[in-house]
Amino acid sequence: MKELIDKIRAEGIALNEEVLKVDSFINHQVDTVLMDRIGETFAEHFKNHGITKVLTVESSGIAPAVFAAKHMGLDLVVLKKSTSKILGGEVYQSTVSSFTKGTRYELTLAKKFISPEDRVLFIDDFLANGQAAMGFVQLMEKAGAKIGGIGILIEKSFQSGRKMLDDLGLDVYSLARIRKMNEGMITFES
Ligand code: G4P
For residue 2, pLDDT beyond 90:
yes
Residue type, 131: Q
Task: Name the band, by pLDDT with cuts 50, 70 and 90, for residue 164.
Answer: very high
For residue 83, pLDDT beyond 90:
no
Neighbours of 29 (CB within 10 A): 11
Name the residue among 83, 91, 172, 92 with its Cα closest to residue 130: 172
Q: Distances from the Cα of 36 to the Cαs of 41, 76, 78, 92, in angstroms?
A: 9, 15, 18, 30
Q: pLDDT of 87-115, one tens digit each? A: 778 999 999 998 777 889 999 999 999 99
Name the residue among 136, 46, 151 with its Cα closest to residue 96: 136
Give distance in angstroms: CA of 114 to centre of ligand 1: 25
Give distance in angstroms: CA of 155 to centre of ligand 1: 11
Tell which one of 98, 180, 185, 186 to mutate to probe ligand 1, the residue whose CB is within 8 A of the most ligand atoms.
Answer: 98
Tell which one of 100, 136, 160 to mutate to probe ligand 1, the residue whose CB is within 8 A of the most ligand atoms.
Answer: 100
pLDDT (0 to 100) of residue 84:
85
Q: pLDDT of 20-55, one tens digit each? A: 999 999 999 999 999 999 999 999 999 999 999 999
Question: Which atom of ligand 1 has the smallest separation from the CA of 135?
Answer: 2
